[in-house]
Structure formats: C-alpha cells, structure tokens
C-alpha cells in the first residue's frame, strides 16, 4: 500500500515523532508532505523516509491556532492544495496526521478519489479548541475520513462526545522501540557530571514549553521541596509560546530558584537525559491526549508522576507503575516528589514494573501491526 502522509508542522512535536515510527516501515512506498520546513523534515530524512515540503510560502502554524485561521491560510494557499491533489493521485491513501492536514487532506481526498485516514492526536474538547474549530474537525472527519485512529481511549471518547462517528474510530497507542531507552551507566555519569547533577535529586520535565503543559506547576512544587531537589526543563516553545517562556524565567527568579532549575531547550538525547533523572514529572493542566513522555520515562526505568486526566489514566496506575496527581496542584506534586526522594526502594520497584509492562504494551512492532491490520481491513 502506498501512503501519502500529511502533517502541517515543520517542528517535531509528539504527533510528528509518532508519525516517523508509523511511516518508517513503508519506506519508499510512503511520502510525508509537510506544510512547513524545519527540523521535522531533517528527522524524516535521517530515518530515510521520503519527505517533501509542499507549501510554497510559510503557513502560520500554531498548534492551538484555530481551524478558521487555518482555513484562511489554506484559502490563500491554493497552490498547496493543488499540489496535494496531484500528488495524492500517485498514492493509494491519504493519511492526515494533524488538523490542518485533515482540512487539506479532505479536499485532496474528494478531488483525487483517494480514501482518507485521520490520525487524531488531540482531545477534541472545548478545553483545548474553540467551538468552530471543533465543528470543522468533526464534520470533516465524519464526512471525509474512512478511518479515524485515536491515540487513546480519551481522545476517542472526546471525538464521539463532540459528535464524531463511533463506527469509524479506533484506538491505537503510540509505539516505541524499547531498545532506544537503554542507556549505559558511563554515559549517565558523564551527563550528570556535565550538567552538575551529582548529589542532587533531579526531577526532569520533558515537554515543549506551553502553558497547558504546566511547567509552572512543577516550579511551584519545587519551591516546596527540600534544597537537594532540582528541576531540569527539557523542551522549547515550538508553537510561538514566547510569553510563557518569559513567565517561567520570571517565576524561577521570583522564587529564588535560579540554582535549582535548568532550562535545557529542545534536545534529541531524551533517553540519556531521562536516565540522568531520579524522577520524571508530567504536569499538564488540561487533559493530555496520550503523553509520549510518560511511556518514555517508563521505558527508561524512571519513576513517573503524571497529571491525572485524559489518556494519562490509561497509562499510569497509581502506586503500581507510577504516581498520579491532581492537575494544577503543586502541593500534591511536591508531596509525591518528597515521597520518591525518601522511599527509594518502593519507588524503584514501581519504576521497574513500569519498564516491564510498557516494553510489551507499547512495542512499536505490535503497534505498527495494529495500524497495518486496520488499513488492510478497511482498504
């Protein structure tokens, strides 16, 4: 099967990293069409996945931007749509990986008579999107997509609650290669030395910097923890959240935590950095659709504390393979950090359990088989 993947982003967010793993097995039978240039294109190339930047001019792509804005820019970009329609004729299937890709993919599907699959990486609720945005996404998916792949039960439920057709939606979790998440002890020591982490209890946060990812909650929690606890913030503002970045730096300064918080920016050595942490924190204040970082922490054998909402509840069972806290509650988060600092043995047992179960449950080979099966059943 020849698949034409579409993604609006030039930057590697979670949906894009997931797409790399999905497209890879198709080799030259796949093409990833992007609406913007950037680091994501390079990652696809490194993975030997055919990629083309299709937009002739930059589209304003904000992850949380409205679809109306998206449609306007798409309207200005007739050349992009024409290109996508033409390309689509060379493939058996159009696979839209983001919402603006769904808009363009729906049009291309109509004109090229190719079926459309929509990989839903979002919780389509009012908490995340405007009413208009929701309506457009649901209507296009209902009318134009033959299959909607939701990244969690939570995303599937929200899709149906927003009016999405239950007969076209299936859940497939993100897949991972567990081997990538094994790091040598010597590499860990080196990294700890380089970052000045020795003798500290390091809480890592691995996410793009965005208000709903809740880095501010972790900083507030840190202020309530003993002085040996430090925080490493890994990730950058990918979709224009510069004000939030300023706000985070200000918060750190106001709380006098400059020596206990490191901002590392966007990094590609996530497994190594996670391995150098004592605990990984996930702090989203709105329901997380899936949460790749949670599974990644598990695969690294690191304890995870995560905000109890959305897809996270399908990944973490409190006290069994991680810890759950109420979203937006720094006091509760601080309490879990302190428990992990003090109860090292039980915390290590929980992290080991998580590693074992996550390696089986989210294995990329199994996940790719599930997708291949869904595609061959439908098309």
- Residue 358 in 3-state DSSP? helix
Residue nearest to ligand UDP (CB): 14
Q: How far, in Å, are 1, 119, 139, 163, 277 from residue 372 at the CA level?
A: 9, 13, 26, 27, 36
Q: Which of 289, 322, 327, 330 binds ligand GLC (CB under 6 A)?
A: 289
Residue 62 or 267 having the CB closest to ligand UDP: 267
Q: Kindly state whether residue 10 participates in binding ligand GLC, applying the rule CB under 6 A.
A: no
Rounded least distance, CB 294 to ligand GLC, Å? 8
Binding segment for ligand GLC among 31-39, 79-87, 222-230, 290-298 (CB under 6 A)? 290-298
Q: How far, in Å, are 20, 182, 208, 300 from residue 265 at the CA level?
A: 22, 22, 9, 20
Q: Which of 99, 151, 183, 347 binds ligand GLC (CB under 6 A)?
A: 151
Q: Kindly state whether residue 292 participates in binding ligand GLC, applying the rule CB under 6 A.
A: yes
Rounded least distance, CB 7 to ligand GLC, Å? 11
* Residue 206 contact among ligand UDP, ligand GLC, none, beta carbon within 5 to 8 Å by kind: ligand UDP
Q: Which residues bind ligand UDP (CB under 6 A)?
A: 13-15, 17, 206-208, 234-235, 266-267, 270, 290-293, 296
Residue 201 or 206 having the CB closest to ligand GLC: 206
* Residue 147 contact among ligand GLC, ligand UDP, none, beta carbon within 5 to 8 Å by kind: none
Q: How far, in Å, are 68, 215, 256 from residue 223 at the CA level?
A: 41, 13, 9
Rounded least distance, CB 41 to ligand GLC, Å? 18
Concatenated DSSP letters for 296-335? HHHHTT--EEEESSBTHHHH--BTTTBEEE-TT-HHHHHH
Binding segment for ligand GLC among 220-228, 246-254, 285-293, 342-350 (CB under 6 A)? 285-293
Asked if residue 287 lies in contact with residue 127, where contact means CB atoms within 8 angstroms, the answer is yes
List all residues 6 or more positions away from 157 whose beta carbon is below 8 Å from its beta carbon. Answer: none
Q: Kindly state whether residue 4 participates in binding ligand GLC, applying the rule CB under 6 A.
A: no
Concatenated DSSP letters for 109-125? HHHHT--EEEEE-S--S
* Residue 151 contact among ligand UDP, ligand GLC, none, beta carbon within 5 to 8 Å by kind: ligand GLC
Find the helix packing angle between 330-342 and 215-222, rounded to 10°: 60
The residue ranges that bind ligand GLC (CB under 6 A) are 13-15, 18, 121, 151, 174, 288-292
């Amino acid at each position: 099967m020849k698949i034409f993947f579409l993604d609006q982003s030039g930057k590697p967010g979670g949906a894009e990293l997931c797409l790399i793993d999905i497209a890879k097995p198709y080799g030259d039978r796949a093409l990833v069409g992007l609406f913007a240039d950037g680091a994501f294109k390079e990652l696809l190339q490194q993975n030997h996945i055919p990629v083309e930047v299709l937009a002739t001019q930059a589209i304003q792509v904000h992850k949380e931007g409205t679809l109306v804005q998206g449609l306007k820019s798409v309207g200005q970009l007739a050349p992009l749509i024409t290109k996508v329609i033409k390309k689509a004729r060379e493939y058996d299937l159009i696979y839209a990986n983001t919402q603006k890709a769904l808009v363009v993919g729906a049009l291309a599907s109509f004109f090229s008579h190719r079926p459309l699959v929509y990989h839903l990486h979002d919780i389509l609720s009012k908490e995340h999107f405007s009413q208009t945005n929701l309506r457009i996404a649901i209507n296009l998916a209902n009318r134009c997509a033959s299959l909607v792949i939701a990244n969690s039960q939570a995303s599937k439920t929200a899709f149906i609650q927003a009016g999405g057709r239950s007969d076209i939606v299936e859940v497939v979790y993100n897949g991972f290669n567990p081997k990538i998440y094994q790091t040598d002890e010597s590499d860990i020591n080196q990294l700890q030395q380089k970052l000045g982490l020795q003798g500290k209890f390091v809480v890592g946060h691995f996410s793009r910097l965005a208000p709903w990812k809740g880095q501010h909650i972790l900083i507030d929690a840190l202020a309530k923890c003993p002085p040996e606890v430090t925080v490493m913030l890994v990730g950058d503002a990918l979709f224009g959240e510069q004000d939030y970045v300023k706000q985070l730096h200000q918060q750190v300064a106001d709380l006098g935590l400059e020596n206990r918080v490191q901002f590392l920016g966007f990094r590609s050595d996530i497994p190594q950095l996670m391995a150098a942490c004592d605990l990984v924190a996930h702090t989203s204040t709105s329901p997380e659709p899936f949460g790749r970082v949670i599974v990644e922490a598990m695969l690294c054998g690191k304890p995870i504390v995560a905000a109890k909402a959305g897809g996270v509840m399908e990944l973490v069972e409190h006290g069994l393979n991680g810890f759950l806290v109420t979203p937006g509650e720094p006091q509760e988060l601080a309490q879990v950090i302190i428990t992990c600092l003090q109860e090292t043995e039980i915390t290590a047992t929980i992290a080991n359990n998580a590693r074992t179960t996550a390696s089986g449950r989210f294995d990329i080979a199994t996940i790719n088989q599930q997708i291949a099966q869904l595609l061959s059943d439908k098309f």
